[in-house]
Structure 1
Amino acid sequence: MKKNIIYTAVALIVGLLVGFLLFGRDSGNKSTNSDTHEHSEAAAQMWTCSMHPQIMQPEPGDCPLCGMDLIPADAGGEGLALNEIKMTNNAMALANVQTMVVGNTSETEENALVLSGKIMPNEEANAVQASYFEGRIEKLNVNFTGENVRKGQLLATIYAPALVAAQQELLTAASMKASQPALYNAVRNKLKLWKLSEEQISQIETSGKVRENFPIYATVSGTVSEKLTEEGDYVTQGQPIVRVSNLATVWAMFDAYENQISQLKEGQKISVTSNAYPNKEFEATISFIDPSLNTQSRTVSVRATLNNKEGILKPGMFVTSKVQVAKSTDQQSLISIPATAVLWTGNRSLVYVKTNPDEPVFKMREVDLGPKNGDMYIILDGLSNGEEVVVNGTFTVDAAAQLQGKRSMMNTDGQSEMDPTDHLAGIERLEVPSKFQDQLKAVFDDYMVIEKALVKDNSETPKKAAGDLLKSLQKVDMKLVKEEPGHSHWMLLDKELQQSALAISKTSDINEQRDHFIHLSAHLINAVKTFGINQKVYVDYCPMVKDDLGAFWLSTEKEILNPYFGASMLRCGEITDEIN
């Protein structure tokens, strides 16, 4: 009986212990598993680059390709419509992406006329400091462009043989002053014509010594905008030494349309805002209205003068002016945008519109361009008053859209997989001088050195060849393509080619070189297709580059030699076009 009781007690204890081990541990495991699950979800968060979406890292930081701040991988498409692209503020700053609100008549303030324009130096405050006499520059006190100078400051010292002879004449005439006063006065006046002061002339006469070197003083205060000579140069009388710009006041140049002229007059007060300082208003006065109307754009130039003593307004900045006018029900709303905002693909003109006023979200849109006035295009269709468009860094935004498979200049359908002929559709050959084609051919030759090195998995040669390509780009004379759209088109392509080549020249990482080679190839294909290089070339395409997004390159041979994979997939690709 005792044994049965003992056995029963032992069995009960063992049962309780086993139950605790099974169910207690399972409960604990549930809690642990729950924590682990939450932790794994947090750990599963990946971070990517808005400009290089192929970059995936488990924690925030900087992009290893461009240095931009990484964003949560799932945040890039959160709340975005089809084919919209989102960039970080840091990416915007590094790529120098600038936007501008378009429209000449505000929809929210019917009694406000809004004009778009640019800051320019005040030409009335500019001066050229010239040499008053012939001689050799012994000392130049201006060391660099951008240096500030004050009125009366010593700019240069010149050795002037003619002045040496004139001083000797003065000393001789001074000794005969009593008997030959006319001669004496004539010699003194001769020195005054060379901008010598009465004090300097009297000092020479009193000392009886001939000075060999003479000073040149600044006649205005300002900033040196251009050095026109160097020490040791021989200058003639009247030859400019330096150009000085006084930026204490600047001009804001606007274009007003024909139906707006009656609302503007000289002396009228206006308020001006800049993209650089959107929350700051500058008071200005209309100082000039062009008496002639541009018959092509139907606009007149309007100039306003702004106080810039703080030096925060820089020439070239985009500005917007708001002019209070009488309410009008029949006032026509016209829109103009800078030429830098437009991407051309043959007959198509494209811009990037900021679709979210509070976030850097953009989407490509096709527009109809009207006549060009200076650096501005009139928009006939495609944009509305108050919309915000990218006016600087447009190619960079487009490149980001390409990498993310969104609708872009080279991917018109916005599919994940690029159509290998999309980027060639509509591009027409422009007539340019053969000299320009020869200069572009030199750029192409340097490009081929990079390509052949990447085919051989060589990462050292592309660095030097990219540097040579930059030098070849600098030798391309844009004056040879004066007419639109060739001039503007090449300016945009040249900027993008330089950025891609510079990026390749700064890295020995072959994967980074190949990433930048994608953009270099895309823009060079556009250039060769548009301008020609007097040589037959092939456009090759590999659909497997960038995780099956695909990429193009140029080749001189029918044989496929893939620069994006090298020996690992040397024959991957196909010829999509021939450029003759």
Structure 2
Amino acid sequence: MKKNSVFVVVAAVVGLLLGYLIFGSNASDEGSADGHNHSEEMASGQMWTCSMHPQIMQPEPGDCPICGMDLIPASSSDEGLAMGQIRMSNNAMALAGVETVTVGAGMTGEGSVKLSGKVAVNQEADAVQSAYFNGRIERLNINFEGEEVRRGQQLATIYSPELVAAQQELITAANLKGSQPALYAAVRNKLTFWKLSENQINEIESSGKVRENFPVYANVSGVVSEIMVEEGDYISTGSPLVKVANLNSVWAVFDAYENQLSLLKKGQSIEVRTKSYPNEAFNAKISFVDPLLNSSTRTLEVRANLDNRKGLLKPGMFVTAEIQLENDTETEALTVPESAILWTGERSVVYVKPDSEEGIFEMREVTLGNLVNGNYVVVSGLNSGEEVVAKGAFTVDAAAQLQGKKSMMNKSGGRTITGHEGHGAGMQMDMEISKEAKTAFDLLLDPYLKLKDALVASNMEQVQQFAREGMEKAKQIAAMEMDEKTKIHFSKIGNQFATIASESSLDSQRDHFVQLSENMILIGNGITGMSKKLYVQQCPMANKSKGANWLSLEEEIKNPYYGEAMLKCGSTVSVIN
């Protein structure tokens, strides 16, 4: 019995040992092989995110609280990055259309400056036809503005009681000219001062009849630019009747920024072009540079005379001019493409790619000089040979914002939770917003929000209506005083409203709504003491899956990019208080 008991105990111990060696080892191997050792995950600090909503970060796997998709492991993108740097995958850069250029030094002594402006009436050749005596307009021979008139052509017929009396005086004085020649001469002179011709005076004298109505003739040839009276109007001596413009010579009027002033001077050759005649250039010389700077737009007027005897150029037509620089001494300067610059108000920033082999970017503030041939002269902030983002800079900046890094809207970097824990970060823009800019933003906010709601309802006609309302508000803002770069942002918003108003499909309207919203958010983030709380919301699938934002007064998601098709897709990423 004792021997049997010993054998049973030994067999049990051996069985347990073999079971541990076989099954325990396999279980351990399997656990390490499939990579789901939860204790190791927790120890390594592995985070889980949603592929559609990257702002979601959780310490363990599960479902996305926004869309319900399975969470995936989040990559530790900050590994090996300096403070302020961000990393983008090759796929993300390709989708965003990111292109870079190498900054190089160029010669600024030879080049050109481009200006935009309009054709205007040459005021030196502009004439106003005035009345030479009191009376009433009996007949107006000019029917519409834009009508061509020739010198000597009859413009109107006027009844004048004073002229009737003066004719009677002439007839009486003519009978007494032998005895009272001085009186006769004085009466004739009075009619001459009233611009009656010698033939007209002689006809009145010889016929002995008084004419009640007298014609008014054009003194110059040209085009009627304004009709200032109507039939039946009573006029007095010197009253303007019509304005006649001689369009054989017109002005090209441009607005130049103050930093371009040193490049412009009277007598400088320019080449003027218009979209109406893209293959034709009009050569001219600068005839006038305004000595006074417009304090509201920070621009000054530059003017050139254009020969228009062919009649190709019409007042109001948009034109561009290219001015050749004439510096005697060439200087070497660093230049960067205009498309690489992001404006924040007081700052100009670019995104630099420190290593051409890796998708790492960092924001850099730069000081700029003049715009020459589509490139800005870099005064400071960049070195020759550095690689900068030339296309897609705004997308790179958006990625920096999502990662809480330094960006054009967030100078110092870091995230600020806005009361929506886990739903994104609120970014603040380093931009001084004046009281006038805050008023301007409030003016635009109402049509913007109405337009957004119309997109939610997929109502194309209402979208056009509210876009036109935004255009009108933007015209009011153009007359306000504010700093130049803030005004540029508002100008862009006005142009985007105009573009949306001209679109006749919802898809096109929604495409342009992306940039309209970005500019509204950009300025809204710089305003303190808002009268309304605004929610910055985002749909990751809009804008061809690049993601797009919008502003809303409600926390509830109502997607303007898809309407009823995906009404609840999106999340609140920040709040503007």
> Which TM-score applies when normalising by structure 1?
0.55
Q: Is the 8 A contact 1:418 1:550 kept in 2?
A: no
Paired residues of 2:334 and 2:379 also in contact (CA < 8 A): no
The Cα of 1:519 is off from its aligned counterpart by 4.4
8 Å contact from structure 2 (residues 463, 501) kept in 1 = no
Render the CA deviation track for 1:256-275: whole Å, top value 9, x for unaligned.
Answer: 999989xx997x9x684646
Q: Secondary structure at the match of 1:199?
A: helix
Report the Cα distance in structure 2 between the residues aligned to 1:214 and 1:333, rounded to whole angstroms: 71
C-alpha distance in 1 between matches for 2:462 and 2:333:
52
Deviations 1:24-69 (A, max 9, x none): xxxxxxxxxxxxxxxxxxxxxxxxxxxxxxxxxxxxxxxxxxxxxx
The residue that corresponds to 2:547 in the other structure is 550
Q: 1:369·1:377 contact (CA, 8 Å) conserved in 2?
A: no
Secondary structure at the counterpart of residue 480 of structure 1: coil
The equivalent of 1:319 in structure 2 is 321
Pairing partner for 1:560 from 538, 557, 565:
557
Trace 1:92-491 onto structure 2 (pairs within 5 A).
105-106=109-110, 122-174=122-174, 176-231=176-231, 233-250=233-250, 272=271, 274=273, 305-313=305-313, 317-320=319-322, 328=328, 330-332=329-331, 344-349=343-348, 368-370=367-369, 379=377, 381=379, 407-408=392-393, 410-413=394-397, 424=409, 426=429, 428-433=431-436, 437=439, 441=442, 443-473=444-474, 476=476, 478-481=478-481, 484-491=484-491
Tell me how many residue pairs correspond in the alignment: 426
Distance 1:185 1:306, change over 3 A: same
Cα deviations by residue, 1:302-339 (Å, 9 ceiling, x for unpaired): 976553322345665223355999xx5x34589999x9
Corresponding residue SS for 2:215: strand
Aligned-partner SS, 1:496: helix
Code of the residue aligned with 1:106 in structure 2: it is: E
Q: How does 1:31-70 map to 2 (within 5 A)?
A: none
Per the TM alignment, residue 132 of structure 1 is displaced from its structure 2 partner at its CA by: 3.2
Q: Which amino acid aligns with 1:317?
A: V
Post-superposition Cα deviations, 1:455-478, rounded to whole Å, max 9, x if no partner, equal 34445544544454455555x253
Gaps of 5+ in 1: 1-76, 86-101, 108-113, 352-364, 383-400
Partners of 1:340 and 1:208 in 2: CA distance: 80
Aligned equivalents of 2:239 and 2:392: distance in 1?
55
Q: Which amino acid aligns with 1:521?
A: S
Per-residue deviation, 1:159 = 4.3
| Contact 1:369–1:380 under 8 Å retained in 2 | yes
Q: Which secondary structure does the structure 1 equivalent of 2:127 belong to?
A: strand
Deviations 1:250-306 (A, max 9, x none): 457899999989xx997x9x684646667666665777799x899x9xx99997655
In structure 2, how many angstroms separate the alpha carbons of the residues matched to 1:458 and 1:418? 31
> Alpha-carbon deviation of 1:209?
4.5
Q: Write out per-residue CA displacement over residues 477-530 of structure 1, whole angstroms, 9 at most, x where no aligned residue.
A: 532337634555434432332222333xxx4x5445444444443444456567
SS of the equivalent of 1:320 reads strand
Q: Which residue of 2 aligns with 1:521?
A: 517
Q: Distance in 2 between matches of 1:320 and 1:566?
A: 46
Rounded to whole Å, the distance in 2 between the matches of 1:187 and 1:377 is 72
Residues in 1 aligned to 2:273 and 2:130: alpha-carbon distance in whole angstroms: 35
Counterpart code for 2:455 = L
Distance across 1 between alignment mates of 2:144 and 2:335: 38
Question: CA 1:289–1:450 in 2, change beyond 3 Å: closer, same or farther?
Answer: closer
Alpha-carbon distance in 2 for matches of 1:231, 1:527: 52
1:158-205 CA distances to partner (integer Å, 9 max, x unpaired)? 444544444454445445544544344333333333323223333344
Letter matched to residue 153 of structure 2: Q
Residue 493 (structure 2) aligns with:
493
Residues of 1 paired with 2:333 and 2:170: CA distance? 69
CA distance in 1: counterparts of 2:107 and 2:212, whole angstroms:
62
3-state SS in 2 of match to 1:243: strand
Report deviation, 1:428. Answer: 2.6
Kept in 2: contact 1:259–1:332 (CA 8 A): no
* Structure-1 residue corresponding to 2:568: 571
Pairwise CA distance, 1:543 = 1.9
Paired residue for 1:83? Answer: 99
Secondary structure of the structure 2 residue equivalent to 1:553: strand
Q: Which residue is 1:540 aligned to?
A: 537
Query: Structure 1 pair 368/318, CA: closer, same or farther in 2 (3 Å)?
Result: farther
In the alignment, the residues of structure 2 paired with residue 441 and residue 150 of structure 1 have an alpha-carbon distance, to the nearest angstrom, of 52
TM-score w.r.t. the length of structure 2 is 0.55
Q: Distance in 1 between matches of 2:233 and 2:335?
A: 47
2:214 and 2:366 map into 1 onto residues whose CA distance is 61
8 Å Cα contact 1:496/1:523 also seen in 2: no
Matched position secondary structure for 2:551: strand
**For the residues of structure 2 that align with 1:520 and 1:258, how far apart are their CA atoms?**
32
Q: Residues 332, 239 of structure 1: CA spacing in aligned structure 2 closer, same or farther, 3 A cutoff? A: farther
Q: Are the aligned partners of 1:349 and 1:367 in contact in 2 as well (CA < 8 Å)?
A: yes
Aligned-partner Cα distance in 2 for 1:430–1:318: 31
Change (3 A) 1:192 1:480: farther
Q: Percent identity?
A: 41
Residue identity opposite 1:496 in structure 2: Q
1:347-384: CA deviation from partner (whole Å, max 9, x where unpaired):
34589xxxxxxxxxxxxx99744489xxx9995559xx
State the shift of 1:548 in Å: 1.9
1:125 positional shift? 2.3
Compared with structure 1, are the counterparts of its residues 128 and 560 closer, same or farther at alpha carbon in structure 2 (3 Å cutoff)? same
